[in-house]
Chain A
Amino acid sequence: GDSVTQMEGPVTLSEEAFLTINCTYTATGYPSLFWYVQYPGEGLQLLLKATKADDKGSNKGFEATYRKETTSFHLEKGSVQVSDSAVYFCALTPSGGSYIPTFGRGTSLIVHP
C-alpha cells in the first residue's frame, strides 16, 4: 500500500536558520503531494501542494518540489522564525480518484530566538 516517511523529530533550530524536513513516499502512479502544518492545540492547515512531477509548491516562504525520480517532497525554508514552531505533516492522495489520503507521522519543529 501507499506510505509516507518523514524524518524523526523534533527538529530544533535557531531563528533565521535554514530548514529542511525530509519526506519520501511510496505509491503507484502519480499521487498528489501535500504539506500540512499543525500549531499547538489546533487542527491541520494546508501549507502547500504539488500535483505532478517537478511541480514546486510554495507558501509563506516554505517550498517543496515533487521529485518523481527520488519519490521525495522535502520541505524547505530559507530563514525560520519562532512562529514557525509547529508540527509538519507530509501527505499524499493517490491518483485514480481514491478518497483516502496517507499521512506521515509528523515532524515537530522548535525554533528558538
Chain B
Amino acid sequence: SQTIHQWPATLVQPVGSPLSLECTVEGTSNPNLYWYRQAAGRGLQLLFYSVGIGQISSEVPQNLSASRPQDRQFILSSKKLLLSDSGFYLCAWSESGGSPLHFGNGTRLTVT
C-alpha cells in the first residue's frame, strides 16, 4: 500500500533562518505531488505542485521554493524565513489528475 511521510512534525525557527521540509511517498511511482499551507482559519493554500521529476509549478510567488530531486521526494525550502511563513504545511500526492489527494500529517512551523 502507499504511504506518505512528512517531517518534521513541528519546527520552531527564528526569522531569517533557512527552512527545509521533506516529504516522501512510498508504494507508487510518478505521483503528482503538492505542498499546501494552512493558516489559522483552516483554509488551504496551494503553494507548489509537481507532475514529474524536476517539474515544479508555483501557485503563489513568495519566500518559498520547492524541488523534486527524485520521483517520490518533494522538498519545500526557504533561504530566509519571515514571520508570515508560520503555519501548518501539508504535503500530498495523487495518482493522476482527477484522483483524490492523500495527505501527510503535516508540519507545524512557528517562525519567531
A contacts, CB < 8 Å to B: 32, 34, 36, 38, 41-46, 49, 51, 87, 89, 91, 93-101, 103, 105-106, 108
CA distance A106 to B94 in the complex (A): 20
Across the interface, B43 reaches (CB within 8 A) one of A34, A41, A99, A105, namely A105
B contacts, CB < 8 Å to A: 6, 32, 41-44, 46, 49, 51, 59, 90, 92, 94, 96-106, 108
Across the interface, A100 reaches (CB within 8 A) one of B43, B49, B96, namely B49
In the complex the two chains form, is B98's CB within 8 Å of A44's CB?
no
In the complex the two chains form, is B43's CB within 8 Å of A93's CB?
no
Known: A32-B98, A43-B90, A99-B32. A106 touches B42 (CB 8 A): yes
Count the A-B residue pairs with Cβ separation under 8 angstroms: how many?
A: 59
Which residues in B have their C-beta under 8 angstroms from that of A98? 97-98
In the complex the two chains form, is B49's CB within 8 Å of A99's CB?
yes
* Extra pairs beyond A46-B101, A98-B98 (16, CB < 8 Å): A34-B100, A41-B108, A42-B105, A43-B92, A43-B104, A45-B103, A51-B98, A91-B101, A93-B98, A93-B99, A96-B97, A99-B49, A99-B97, A100-B49, A103-B43, A103-B44
**Nearest A-chain residue to B96, judged by Cβ:** A97
Known: A43-B103, A44-B103. A97 touches B97 (CB 8 A): yes
Across the interface, B51 reaches (CB within 8 A) one of A96, A99, A101, namely A99
Which of A43, A98, A100, A108 gathers the greatest number of chain B CB atoms within 10 Å? Answer: A43
